[in-house]
Amino acid sequence: MNYDTNKLAELLFPDVTGTVAELEEKYPERNLKEGARVTRFAPSPTGYLHIGGLFGALVDVLTARATGGVAYLRVEDTDKKREIDDGVSAIINGFNSFSIDFDEGVTGFNTEKGDYGPYTQSQRAEIYHIVAKELVQKGLAYPCFCTADELSQIRSEQEKGDALIWGYFGKWAKCRDLSLEEIEKNIQEGKPYVLRFRSDGQEDKRISFDDIIRGKIEMPENIIDEVLLKSDGIPTYHFAHACDDHFMRTTHVIRGEEWISSVPKHIALFKACGFKVPKYAHTPQVMKIDEEDGTKRKLSKRKDPEAAVSYFVEEGFPKESLIEYLLTLLNSNFEDWRRANPKADAFSFPFNLKKMSPSGCLFDLVKLNDVSKNVISVMNAEDVYSYIAEWAKKYDEDFFNVFTADPEKSKAMVNIDRESPKPRKDIAKWSEVKEYFSYMFDEFYAPAFELPENIQKEDAKAILESYLKVYSTEDDKDVWFSKIKDLCEPLGFTPNVKEYKKNPELFKGHVGDVSTVIRLAVTSRKNTPDLCSIMSLLGKEKIEARINNVLKSL
Ligand code: GLU
């Protein structure tokens, strides 16, 4: 171009007086120890938090924690089309539910913390305009007045021709060579324009960068004159990324793999602006196996309820479980670490980006359930009680009222087979508790006595009748069990399981069958936690009534 670029800069940005040098001073390099990483999670406020978002944010926070760095939350709200009212709250609530704590950034509706803000892109117009103005001054940006029609015309010509790349570049970039007079005239006429990057990339050149997760990646250099500011002055993602990650002093840009193809553009922009290019790590997608056709696919907001983080809150998965499970997906050495540090806070795991697999990771609800059962099994009864009450209060009021009516009884109930070296692993989420313990509450108990095939009616009757005669609420576990053993022989069963296995033809069954009949009569279940504890919580009246009811039905 053969005009004074300063003149153009004044023409385009008459009100911008700040300078990049001032911004550099206002947002200085962070004073962190050697090796500390500054990461960010940068969602668009689309009104819900995707499980992939939680996954990504976890990577950001763990990376910062493991290096003594900073993780911050930036809201990228420049794409008004994708935005919904109060979309930020859904994201913040999602993070709060899972104790994802950012050191800096947006903390709520119109609130934030940290010295590198504002952390919401729509409040950063001044910064983008200062940087854009300097790019114009340096001859690295220009206004483009092409209309939507003209752009689609270019596109269709490119599609017809044999161009390898489509976009605004080279001979297609008509506005690149407008004279200052032409630009002035267009502006006087009120023609809308965008600000474009003046790329000096060459079609035959390649660039490479080291992706921390994927290693060296080589790609053609960027040659496109990308839009920096849209006609309303709002930056594109690409330009905002360069400005924000520079002035927020991000050292490691960790983001979804869908951005890999944009890296050449981003490197070109960072360089043009005179900014140091950050390190990149592109994380894999969170995938699942499709129930219908067995293929691996992205979790979809439309098809998969578990795509939204709120699903896990509503289902009552403890936050610890989901975090624990995501960590197993993030680093394959997490499980070894967990075995060596069974009680450690998951966030103290020495996470390593380099150990992340670049291929899509499979989100498997069945595995999450298993992990969650483990996590819940080692919680103490007091915590389990509070978690259940908190969940039920919000999602199942009937259950809440019954469950919290007698807190001591409910705590004792959830403590059965808990707080022991080998706790029972049977509850994966709080929404299961009502059904799981339904026999503990008359309000939810629906008796359904069904004998196992190997036990005859008369025998069941005899077992229950004999048991009622010896049953006492005073019995501790040992007495309780010895009474059941004592029932066996007179009724043709054996107290000795081994003996039964040796000579099954000699007996009607063994002590396990006898206790099963009692268990069924009292709970309508073949499997429960420790029956003696259940019976002592239910109390004499209920036990006798339930057994008598079954006897009547036999
Ligand atoms: N706002 C972008 C998105 O939601 C974030 C990409 C990035 O982390 O740089 O996809």
List, for residues 28-73, the tens digit of each pLDDT value: 999 999 999 999 999 998 878 999 999 999 999 999 999 999 999 9
Say how far apart CA 486 and CA 506 lie, in whole Å.
17
Q: How far is the CA of 266 from the centre of ligand 1 (A)?
A: 13
User: Radius of gyration over alpha carbons of the chain, in Å?
Assistant: 33
Pocket perturbation via mutation, ligand 1, pick of 83, 124, 259, 286 by most ligand atoms within 8 A of CB: 259
Q: Is the pLDDT confidence value at 543 over 90?
A: yes
- pLDDT-derived band of residue 535, with 50, 70 and 90 as boundaries? very high
Query: Which pLDDT does position 82 carry in this prediction?
Result: 56
Q: 280 by DSSP, 3-state: which?
A: strand
Q: Measured from the CA of 40, which atom of ligand 1 is nearest?
A: 8
Look at ligand 1, atom 5, and give the residue with the nearest C-alpha.
42
Say how far apart CA 422 and CA 474 lie, in whole Å.
26
What are the angstrom distances between the C-alpha of 177 and each of 244, 417, 431? 29, 78, 65
Q: How far is the CA of 60 from the centre of ligand 1 (A)?
A: 13
Q: Measured from the CA of 255, which atom of ligand 1 is nearest?
A: 8
| Nearest one of 430, 398, 401 to 414, comparing CA atoms | 430
Share of the chain above pLDDT 70, in %: 99
Q: 369 by DSSP, 3-state: which?
A: helix
By 3-state DSSP, what share of the chain in percent is helix, strand and coil, each rounded to 5? 50, 10, 35
- pLDDT-derived band of residue 2, with 50, 70 and 90 as boundaries? confident
The mean per-residue pLDDT over the stretch 436-456 comes to 95
Residue 8, judged by CB atoms within 10 A of its CB (0-12, 13-18, 19+), counts as: buried
DSSP string, 251-267: SEEEEEGGGGGGHHHHH
Say how far apart CA 388 and CA 393 lie, in whole Å.
8
Q: Is the pLDDT confidence value at 83 over 60?
A: no
Q: How far is the CA of 308 from the centre of ligand 1 (A)?
A: 17
Task: Work out the number of other CB atoms within 10 angstroms of the CB of residue 205.
Answer: 11
92 Ramachandran zone, left/alpha/beta (phi>0; psi -120 to 50): alpha
Q: How far is the CA of 255 from the centre of ligand 1 (A)?
A: 7
Q: How far is the CA of 72 from the centre of ligand 1 (A)?
A: 13
Asked whether 467 and 519 are in contact (CB, 8 A), the reply is no
Q: How far is the CA of 42 from the centre of ligand 1 (A)?
A: 5
Query: Mean pLDDT in the chain?
Result: 95
Q: How far is the CA of 245 from the centre of ligand 1 (A)?
A: 12
Q: How far is the CA of 41 from the centre of ligand 1 (A)?
A: 8
Q: Measured from the CA of 76, which atom of ligand 1 is nearest?
A: 1
Look at ligand 1, atom 9, and give the residue with the nearest C-alpha.
255
Q: Measured from the CA of 245, which atom of ligand 1 is nearest?
A: 9
Pocket perturbation via mutation, ligand 1, pick of 83, 237, 238, 270 by most ligand atoms within 8 A of CB: 237
Per-residue 3-state assignment (H helix, E strand, C coil) for 102-155: CCEEEEECCEEECCCCCCEHHHCHHHHHHHHHHHHHCCCEEEECCCHHHHHHHH
Say how far apart CA 132 and CA 228 lie, in whole Å.
8
Ranges 143-152, 290-299, 380-389: which has the least confidence: 290-299
Say how far apart CA 249 and CA 30 lie, in whole Å.
7
Q: Is the pLDDT confidence value at 163 over 80?
A: no
Q: Is the pLDDT confidence value at 528 over 60?
A: yes
- pLDDT-derived band of residue 81, with 50, 70 and 90 as boundaries? low
For residue range 262-285, list pLDDT tens digits in order: 999 999 999 999 999 999 999 999
Q: How far is the CA of 45 from the centre of ligand 1 (A)?
A: 10
What are the angstrom distances between the C-alpha of 104 and each of 23, 57, 395, 409, 519? 19, 13, 32, 43, 55
Residue 141, judged by CB atoms within 10 A of its CB (0-12, 13-18, 19+), counts as: buried
The mean per-residue pLDDT over the stretch 444-467 comes to 95
Asked whether 533 and 420 are in contact (CB, 8 A), the reply is no
Ligand 1: lining residues by beta carbon, under 6 Å: 42-44, 76, 241, 255
For residue range 349-408, list pLDDT tens digits in order: 999 999 999 987 899 999 999 999 999 999 999 999 999 999 999 999 999 999 999 999
| Nearest one of 193, 191, 192, 199 to 172, comparing CA atoms | 199
- pLDDT-derived band of residue 85, with 50, 70 and 90 as boundaries? low
Pocket perturbation via mutation, ligand 1, pick of 44, 75, 246 by most ligand atoms within 8 A of CB: 44
Place of tokens 């002590």: 511
Q: Measured from the CA of 258, which atom of ligand 1 is nearest?
A: 10
Structure tokens at 392: 């039920």
Query: Which pLDDT does position 48 carry in this prediction?
Result: 84
Pocket perturbation via mutation, ligand 1, pick of 40, 49, 76, 80 by most ligand atoms within 8 A of CB: 76
Say how far apart CA 406 and CA 316 lie, in whole Å.
21
Structure tokens at 157: 């010509």
For CA atoms 9, 11, 17, 23, give the dihedral sign. Answer: negative
Length of the chain as a residue count: 554
Distance of CA 65 to the CA centre of its chain: 18
Pocket perturbation via mutation, ligand 1, pick of 255, 280, 283, 298 by most ligand atoms within 8 A of CB: 255
Q: How far is the CA of 121 from the centre of ligand 1 (A)?
A: 12
The mean per-residue pLDDT over the stretch 7-27 comes to 98
Q: Is the pLDDT confidence value at 129 over 60?
A: yes
Q: How far is the CA of 228 from the centre of ligand 1 (A)?
A: 16
Angle (CA) 379 380 381, round 5°: 120
| Nearest one of 95, 96, 103, 113 to 57, comparing CA atoms | 95
Asked whether 226 and 241 are in contact (CB, 8 A), the reply is no
Say how far apart CA 410 and CA 416 lie, in whole Å.
10
Q: How far is the CA of 258 from the centre of ligand 1 (A)?
A: 9
Q: Measured from the CA of 41, which atom of ligand 1 is nearest?
A: 8
| Nearest one of 426, 392, 376, 404 to 530, comparing CA atoms | 426
The order of strands in the sheet holding 194-197 is: 141-144, 194-197, 227-229
Q: Measured from the CA of 241, which atom of ligand 1 is nearest?
A: 9
Share of the chain above pLDDT 90, in %: 91
What are the angstrom distances between the C-alpha of 196 and each of 3, 82, 257? 17, 23, 25
Q: How far is the CA of 120 from the centre of ligand 1 (A)?
A: 13
Q: Is the pLDDT confidence value at 538 over 90?
A: yes
Query: Which pLDDT does position 47 carry in this prediction?
Result: 79
